[in-house]
Amino acid sequence: MASTYSFDIVSEVDLQEADNAVNQAVKEAEHRYDLRGSNQEIEFDRPKRTITIRADGEHFVTAIRDIIVQKMIKRGISVEALDEQKVELMSGRRVRQIINLRSGLSKEDAKKITTLIKDGKFKVTAQIQDEKVRVTGKSKDDLQAVMGALRSASLGFPVQFENMR
């Protein structure tokens, strides 16, 4: 039996699921009656982790964004992982909105997690390692208590737990 147990806290988006959600949103947007004639385009750039929506009016972009959010939720992707930019005017009536997919924990987010763990007075240690936080403790129950506290906390970004040892 191991003397200490650990797990990692990460914030990742499954790009394949995001791609599937965007493809479903494209199909739905093509067939929706209220979006006919909107000249819409939805583009997913996997390496840059961005979704670009272009249409002939801001209300069309908002409707398409709502479809994308709905499909992301159905695919198990947290809405907190979507970083929506302002709607930009391109030329004439054309407008564009860029949605970035967050990946990895920033230093501020990692510090937020470690302070939450320390304030909870759990019998564990948390240390920041690049874009993840490693939590170690002597009891699996302590680690599960930390997981429960993080799930119930509103952090403003999605977290997943991996490498439970």
Where do the domains of the chain lie? 5-12+104-162, 15-101
**31 CB neighbour count, 10 Å cutoff:** 9
One fold for 5-12+104-162 and 15-101? yes
CATH fold for the domain made of 15-101: Alpha-Beta Plaits (3.30.70)
The pLDDT of residue 2 is: 55
The pLDDT of residue 109 is: 85
The pLDDT of residue 164 is: 77
Q: Which residues of the chain have pLDDT under 70?
A: 1-2
pLDDT in tens, 16-43: 999 999 999 999 988 888 878 778 889 9
The pLDDT of residue 24 is: 93
Which pairs with CB-CB distance under 8 Å and at least 24 residues apart come from 111-118? Answer: 112/155, 113/9, 113/150, 113/155, 113/159, 116/149, 116/150, 116/153, 116/155, 117/146, 117/149, 117/150
The pLDDT of residue 139 is: 85
CATH 3.30.70.860 fits 5-12+104-162, yes or no: yes
**What type of residue sits at position 143?**
L
Phi, psi of 9 (to 5 degrees): -105, 120
pTM of the prediction?
A: 0.81
Helix residue ranges per DSSP H, the chain: 15-31, 58-74, 107-119, 140-152
